[in-house]
Amino acid sequence: MSGSKRLIRGKDTWQLRVYIGRDSNGRVRHLHRNFQGSARAADRELARLVTEQELLPVPIPEEPTVWGPTTTINDAITAWKANGWEDLSPKTTLGYQSTWDCHVKKSIGNRRIATLNTYDVERHFRRLKSEGSGQSSVRQVRALMNRACKLARKWSGGTLPNPVAEAELPSWAMSERPDEVRSPELAEVQALLKAATAHDERFGAFVRVVAATGMRRGEACALRWSDIDFEGACVTVDESVISAQGGAIVKQPKTRASIRSLALDDDTLAVLRHLRKAQLKLAGACSIDLEDEGFAFSFDPGGTIPPHPDAMSHLFSQTRDAAKVASDIHLHSLRHFQATALDPVLPERQKQARLGWSTVHMARHYTDAIGAEDRKAAVHIGKLLSPGAPQVLSEGAEAG
């Protein structure tokens, strides 16, 4: 790297010039500095500027993305990942990444978009089915490819086609589809609660809250002590813990319907009070404070780290085996239990509001009635979960 100096004013003012490369159009660029002093001092300053520029990292020119006949499905997904995935939920991007790696990248992902047609895309879907992929997996592949090709068409100024737009999915016979999620029987839920409490008091309280309220597992993982109103016998649901790259994060829910206040029955409140006392004792033994903003079901003594949803699901599987409950019952099945158990006692709009479904905006017009009915729901579920004479649940399952 070279430099030069020239006298510009009187005998002691110099203009120093250092070559710093070329711009994107190939024009030479220089760094200019004025310096006041002797010629020898100006030489030393020029040498310093040259050395400083030489130590700077060499800028890597950004190559413009070319959208044309050579653009592949993988190119489109890569570009979308760099310019759009940050707007998506971390859980969604993990799913897309897995789908891309498993079902697209090494096969149809290498094909040029301009050479693909709808027949080729549908044949790929049927190949995935023949290799054992389920309906939901192939549907996810279609969603990923369709979005990427749609963006490629837009970014290419309409010169590239979207061969996925009209592609249809294969059909699956009833015998090929997975079994529908089953709502657990009351006896199974009671057995799960007993086994969970025996395994760990904290996890027992977690399962109790999920069963008593129908919360999603991520919502229960995000429950803070400040969300629980012991005097008002209710809990606020306004956050969720989701899986992300390298761990889990706390985020706001996707829809307004997911933000809600739920009534709690007396027994569930008692379980939470007992857990609070145990957590305070543990924090005191560790000489730390249990903050009100701490997570209620955290395995950290101070409650600062929320439990990971996958870890809670793993614990539930262990508990289910210990309780000798059928393997088709999962943590999410407790939401189905809630939906089924509430059928005889609540109108549909209130059941949907309690479970946080996104199709219940009209239910917000019934604020007073919903408050009373939600209290009725909490009492009804609390009676079912408490040891005693089991009640027969009406048939049905959660709609969403």
Question: pLDDT (tens digit, 9 = 90+) per residue, 328-337?
Answer: 899 999 998 8
C-alpha distance from residue 29 to each of 3, 8, 24, 26, 51 (Å): 12, 20, 11, 9, 17
Residue type, 109: G
Q: Rounded to an integer, what distance in angstroms lies between the CA atom of residue 382 and that of residue 264?
A: 8
What DSSP element (H or E) covers 218?
A: helix 217-221
- Spell out the alpha helix ranges (H) of 308-399: 309-322, 333-342, 348-355, 367-385
User: How many residues are recorded in the chain?
Assistant: 400
Given a cut of 50, the residues of the chain with pLDDT beneath it are: 360-369, 389, 394-400
Q: Rounded to an integer, what distance in angstroms lies between the CA atom of residue 385 and that of residue 231?
A: 21
Q: Which CATH class is domain 73-176?
A: mainly alpha
Neighbours of 314 (CB within 10 A): 12
Q: Which of 399, 304, 328 is nearest to 358 (CA)?
A: 399
Bridge partners of 34, per DSSP, are: 15
Q: Which of 169, 205, 342 is nearest to 278 (CA)?
A: 205
* Strand 247-251 to 260-263 pairing: unpaired
Q: Report the phi/psi class of residue 396: left, alpha or beta, with left for phi > 0 and alpha for psi in -120 to 50.
A: left
Domain extents for the chain? Answer: 3-55, 73-176, 186-385
C-beta of residue 47 within 8 angstroms of C-beta of residue 5: no
Q: Rounded to an integer, what distance in angstroms lies between the CA atom of residue 237 and that of residue 220?
A: 8
Positive or negative torsion for Cα 200, 202, 208, 211: negative
* Strand 3-9 to 228-229 pairing: unpaired
What DSSP element (H or E) covers 18?
A: strand 13-22
C-beta of residue 272 within 8 angstroms of C-beta of residue 251: no
CATH fold of 186-385: hpI Integrase; Chain A (1.10.443)
Q: Which of 214, 207, 221 is nearest to 183 (CA)?
A: 214
User: Which pLDDT score, from 0 to 100, does residue 166 have?
Assistant: 95
The string of DSSP codes covering 146-215 is: HHHHHHHHHHTTT-S--TTTT--PPP--GGGSPPPPPPPPHHHHHHHHHHHHHH-HHHHHHHHHHHHH--
User: Which pLDDT score, from 0 to 100, does residue 146 have?
Assistant: 96
The string of DSSP codes covering 25-78 is: TS-EEEEEEEEES-HHHHHHHHHHHHHHHHHSPPP-PPPPPP-STT-BHHHHHH
Query: Phi, psi at residue 238, to the nearest 5°?
Result: -145, 10
C-alpha distance from residue 370 to each of 239, 334, 346 (Å): 22, 22, 10
C-beta of residue 362 within 8 angstroms of C-beta of residue 393: no
Bridge partners of 237, per DSSP, are: 260
